[in-house]
Amino acid sequence: ATPMSIMTATGRGAQAGVLIKNAEALERFEKVDTLIVDKTGTLTEGKPKLVAVLPEANHAETEVLRLAASLERGSEHPLAEAIVSGAEARGVTLAEAGDFEAVTGKGVKGTVDGKAVALGNAALMADMGLDGGDLAEQANARRDEGETVMFVVLDGAIAGMVSVADPTKESTPAALKALHELGFRIIMATGDNERTARAVAKRLGIDEIRADVLPADKASIIKDLQAQGRKVAMAGDGVNDAPALAQADVGIAMGSGADVAIESAAFTLVKGNLEGIVRARRLALATMRNIR
Ligand code: ADP
Ligand code: MG
C-alpha cells in the first residue's frame, strides 16, 4: 500500500481544522501519553456567570456586590466580567474605583469610596493575613459544586464572598471520552483552587488535576512529567501559556488564542476545542501506521 505521506497528512489536518507546523510534530504526537488541558475556556465555556453573593454579618448583599463589581471594572479577567455583568443585571449602581492593581492568579486590589477593597481567592486572603471566617463552610460547599469563590475585603476584613460558575462546553464529555480511548492520560491544570478543580474533574472523569497553578508554573509541571518519562502534549491559548507550549513535546494552541501561543505551538486548532485534539491524534496514528 502507498503510505499516506506527511504531506498528505498536513493537508488533511488543515481540512479538519488542525494546522500542523512540521512532520516531526506529527511523529512526536503519536508517542504522547499525557495531555494537559486548561480548565477555563478549554473544558468550560470560558464565560463564567455570577451565581451567588453571600455577605458576612453586618454587611448587605448589594453592598458586597457593589464593592466587588466596582473594583472589577478595572480588570479584563473573565471572572471580572462575570461579576460586573452580574451586578449590572441586578441593577447595582457601580462606583469609580481608585489605585487599581491586579494580583496575577489571585485577584484585584484598589479603593472604592476612598476605602481599601480587595477581591480574590484564598491565596490572596492568606497574603493579607485573612481566612474565610464564618463563610469558609459555605465557600467549600460552593467549590464542591465546581464554582469559583472569591472573597471581598473591605478595610482589612472580609465583608462577603461572590461565587461564579463556568459551565462545561457541550462537546467536552464526548471529546474527553474519545481522548481517553486514544490512549491519553488527561491532566487538568487550573488557577482555580483544589476543591473546585476536584469537583470539575470528578464530573468529567479527568484523571489528574493540578490546581492553584500560576501561569508561570505550567512549564515546570511539564518538565516534572517529562523527567518521569512521560511524553506530554499541552493545550493552551494565553500569552502566559507560551513557555509551557514550547516546553511540551507537542504544544497545541487554540486558533482563537494569542499570537505568541500559536508561534510556540506545534499544532494550532482552528476551532478552539478538544475535538481538534481528537482529530489530530487520529491523524498522527493513521499517518505513522502507514509510514511503518
Ligand atoms: P484560570 O485561567 O485557570 O482561571 P487565573 O490565573 O486566570 O487562572 O486565575 C486564578 C485564580 O485567581 C482565579 O480562579 C481567581 O480565584 C483569582 N483571580 C484572578 N484574577 C481575578 C480577578 N480579576 N478577580 C478575582 N479573582 C481573580
Ligand atoms: Mg486564565
pLDDT at residue number 42: 84
pLDDT at residue number 287: 85
pLDDT, tens digit, for every residue of 264-287? Answer: 899 999 887 889 999 999 999 988
Whole-number Cα distances in Å, 79 to 32, 136, 162: 33, 20, 10
- Ligand located closest to 119 CA: 1
Ligand 1 atom closest to Cα of 240? 6
Distance (Å) from CA 197 to ligand 2 centroid: 14
Segment 54-75 shows an average pLDDT of: 96
**Residues designated as active site:** 38
- Ligand located closest to 125 CA: 1
- Report the C-alpha gap between 269 and 252 in whole angstroms: 7
Distance (Å) from CA 107 to ligand 1 centroid: 6
Distance (Å) from CA 102 to ligand 1 centroid: 10
CA angle 185, 208, 280 (to 5 degrees): 35
Q: Residues 265, 165: contact at Cβ < 8 Å? A: no
Asked whether this chain's domains 6-45+168-291 and 49-165 adopt the same fold, the reply is: no
Q: Answer yes or no: is pLDDT of 3 > 60.
A: no
- Ligand located closest to 79 CA: 1
- Report the C-alpha gap between 150 and 171 in whole angstroms: 28
Q: Answer yes or no: is pLDDT of 226 > 50.
A: yes
Classify domain 49-165 at the CATH class level. alpha beta
Segment 210-225 shows an average pLDDT of: 92
pLDDT at residue number 255: 81
**Closest C-alpha residue for ligand 1 atom 16:** 121
Q: Answer yes or no: is pLDDT of 208 > 70.
A: yes
Mean predicted lDDT score pLDDT of the chain? 91
Q: Given pLDDT bands bounded at 50, 70 and 90, which one contains residue 4? A: low
Nearest to 148 by CA among 114, 172, 171, 124: 124
Ligand 1 atom closest to Cα of 80? 23
Q: Answer yes or no: is pLDDT of 153 > 70.
A: yes
Segment 156-168 shows an average pLDDT of: 96
The dihedral region occupied by 185, where left means phi > 0, alpha psi between -120 and 50, and beta the remainder, is beta
pLDDT, tens digit, for every residue of 233-242? Answer: 999 877 788 8
**Closest C-alpha residue for ligand 1 atom 6:** 105
Is residue 233 within a helix (H) or strand (E), and if so which, with residue range? Answer: strand 232-236
Q: Answer yes or no: is pLDDT of 33 > 90.
A: yes
Candidate from 80-84, 158-162, 167-171, 195-199 with smallest mean pLDDT: 167-171
Distance (Å) from CA 234 to ligand 2 centroid: 15
Domain boundaries, the chain: 6-45+168-291, 49-165
Q: Answer yes or no: is pLDDT of 1 > 70.
A: no
Ligand 1 atom closest to Cα of 149? 16
Look at 133 and 52; give whichever has higher pLDDT. 52
pLDDT at residue number 183: 94
Candidate from 17-26, 43-52, 150-159 with smallest mean pLDDT: 17-26
Distance (Å) from CA 21 to ligand 2 centroid: 25
Segment 38-59 shows an average pLDDT of: 92
- Residue 27's DSSP bridge partners are none
What does 178-212 look like in DSSP terms, one character per residue?
Answer: HHHHTT-EEEEE-SS-HHHHHHHHHHHT-SEEE-S
Which residue from 192, 200, 210, 234 has its CB within 8 A of the most atoms of ligand 1, so it is best to mutate? 192
**What is the maximum alpha-carbon separation in the chain?**
77
pLDDT at residue number 73: 95
pLDDT at residue number 13: 86
Q: Answer yes or no: is pLDDT of 2 > 50.
A: no
Scan for cell 462546553, then name that residue. Answer: 169
pLDDT at residue number 184: 97
3-class state of residue 38 by DSSP = strand
**Closest C-alpha residue for ligand 1 atom 20:** 107
Reduced 3-state DSSP string for 125-168: HHHCCCCCHHHHHHHHHHHCCCCEEEEEEECCEEEEEEEEECCE
Pocket, ligand 1, Cβ cutoff 6 A:
39-40, 72, 75, 77, 79-80, 105-108, 119-121, 148, 150, 190-192, 215
Q: Answer yes or no: is pLDDT of 162 > 50.
A: yes
Ligand 1 atom closest to Cα of 119? 25
pLDDT at residue number 270: 87
3-class state of residue 118 by DSSP = strand
* CATH fold group of domain 6-45+168-291: Rossmann fold (3.40.50)
Candidate from 78-87, 101-110, 243-252, 279-288 with smallest mean pLDDT: 279-288
Q: Residues 197, 211: contact at Cβ < 8 Å? A: yes
